Structure 1
Amino acid sequence: MQHRHQTTRRPPNAYDLDELTDSYDSKRDPYAGDFEEPKRSRAFGLIKRVATSTVVIMTLIVVLVLGIVAKTNFGKGKPPPGAAADTSLNEMLSQMSNQQMDPVVAGAEANARRRAYEKQVALEKAAEKKRKARAKALKEKREWEALKRRMSNDPSAAENQAYAKKMNALKGWGGCWSSLLTMWNHESGWNEHASNPGSGAYGIPQALPGSKMASAGPDWHNNAMTQIAWGLSYVGARYGDPCRAWSFWQAHSWY
């Protein structure tokens, strides 16, 4: 029996799946948006979860940092182990080891010690200066007393000059000492017994007459201190100071 080849004919409403797939255009499909919405929802959820995780992590980091800072700051004000509540600063510092001591406290202690040392040094220098001044004054006083004792017993020309220099300085004429020294060298050679037979002038300042010096003391004839005291008073009253008296002497050979 001979079979005839039959061609299967598809119904007019049947479509090839491949053709349908190839010919599909999502842009022209009015319902295409309904299928894309779930994709956007999943992406948004993923972003939300990531953002939430980041916020949580940052929050934990901030809390951790604040905890460390708070622990460090509060720990600075606590006394060292074993220190009582009323322990003084020096006692606390003595109980703290080098590792426990705060650098600021250590610096403050060093500055306090430095200031105390500088104050002590200044006090010692002032005391030493005062001691030297007292010693110098005492020495000068003793020398002055000894000089006056020698002056009452036939003093030398050098001793008369030393006494006159001291008295001249006490009058504020220290800068004119060389003028007085030279002038009385010419007048008497600093000899309290010097006498000018021609004029009658007498003594170290060559008072004319010599009895004028009695206004300074009754012992004017032999006491060099009395003569010097009178001579300085005369120079001050007539010329103002030995510098002016010496200038006059240079012009006239007397004063």
Structure 2
Amino acid sequence: MQHRHQETRRPPRAYDLDELTGSYDSERDPYAGDFAEPKGVRALRLVKRAATSTVVIMTLVIVIVFVIVAKTNFGKGKPPPGAADISTNEMLKELSGYQMDPVVAGAEAQAKRRAYEKAVAAEKAAKKKAAARAKALKEKREWEALKKRMSNNPSAAENQAYAKKMNALKGWGGCWGSLLTMWNHESGWNEHATNPGSGAYGIPQALPGSKMASAGADWRNNAMTQIAWGLAYVGSRYGDPCKAWGFWQAHHWY
């Protein structure tokens, strides 16, 4: 009769909490050798466990930081709320929080009125000054153009036409007939007329002709310069052409 060899069975081992939670120490386990893993596999398992623990810890840290940031009020760094974010009660609170004194408000209004009136006055003055400057420039250009035309040997009729305008500008429009007749006797309205006996020269017969240089250096050939000098002489000596013509009629000179 053959006897079977019966293997000695070990009773089931109860695992303690340390082993279940990962703090198991194989050196204290008498049966550890029966279940020992190869060293390479065990090292890999330890590395994976450490990596997993690190990821979990980092995730928890990120979550905590996010919660702290979300609940933290950074004060001045927060942008001001828009009008849509302000309630009616908040608006009323802002409006009722400050009341301006009527005297202060009146002073503010007066300051604004004075500033406005000053700006309007300055604008009007600037426009008036610009208009006057433009008018003076226009008159100067017209005068220079007229003098240039009058220096090109104008006819007696042209000289008379320009003298009539200049006489009117002096306010002597009613005395034009007197001036026309008087200078017609003197020079025939010829800017080059010369009296050989006295040396009188030009339309107004200045004596001597060089006196007309006070009206312009071109007095010898420019009828405008001669007319301007002649009108100034008439006004200064007689008051107007009417009185000058009256004197001429009595003395045949003026």
Answer whether TM exceeds 0.5 for this pair: no
Normalising by structure 2, we get a TM-score of 0.43
Greater relative contact order (Cα < 8 A, sep 6+)? 2
TM-score, normalization by structure 1: 0.43
